[in-house]
Amino acid sequence: MKRVMFVCKKNSARSQMAEGFAKTLGNGKIAVTSSGLEASQVRPEAIATMEAIGIDITDQYSKPLSDFKPEDFDAVISLCGCGASLPSEWVIREIFEDWQLDDPAEQPEIFPRVRDQVKERVVQLIQSLEQ
């Protein structure tokens, strides 16, 4: 089973939604967590946007990347363009992708669009990891 880390600046929205999708859609196929360059809190808009499509992320919480070891993960996915800010040991994993999705925290009205983009990317990721 592949181990996936979703990482973002604050682990408050995009990476939390990705973790929620991956846990739901990749259940039994991948092991997943998320973290941030710095920890904060899961945005209520992220929780509500996911809840609107039947995925509950209320038990998820923001975690700092420093709590994890890169060698524990096969795939590292940056959702915010923060790949350039990651320590090199994180970007040399078997799989590294930088999705560079818009930050809905700055424009709350785009949460549904970003959520749908995250879902599409997570579905593609799961499919590629199964091959």
Given the residues 8, 17, 76, 105, select the one marked as catalytic. 8
Q: What is the pLDDT of residue 131?
A: 82
Q: What is the pLDDT of residue 17?
A: 98
Q: What is the pLDDT of residue 82?
A: 81
Query: For residue 123, what is the domain's CATH number?
Result: 3.40.50.2300
**The tokens of 80 are what?**
């915010």
DSSP 29-62: TEEEEEEESS-----HHHHHHHHTTT---TT---
Structurally, the chain folds into a number of domains equal to 1
Sheet strands side by side (includes 30-36): 30-36, 2-8, 75-78, 95-98
Is 8 labeled as catalytic in the residue annotation?
yes
pTM of the shown model: 0.96
Is 80 labeled as catalytic in the residue annotation?
yes
Q: What is the pLDDT of residue 44?
A: 97
List, run by run, the mean pLDDT of 10-residue segments along the chain (131 residues).
96 97 96 96 97 98 97 96 87 94 93 98 96 82
Task: List the domain range (segments joined by +) for residue 12.
Answer: 2-130
Q: Going by DSSP bridges, is the β-strand pair 30-36/2-8 parallel, antiparallel, or unpaired?
A: parallel
Q: What is the pLDDT of residue 94?
A: 92
Taking the C-alpha atoms of residue 121 and residue 129, their distance in angstroms, rounded to an integer, is: 12
Q: What is the pLDDT of residue 81?
A: 84
Given the residues 80, 86, 105, 125, select the one marked as catalytic. 80
CB-CB contact of 3 with 74 (8 Å): yes
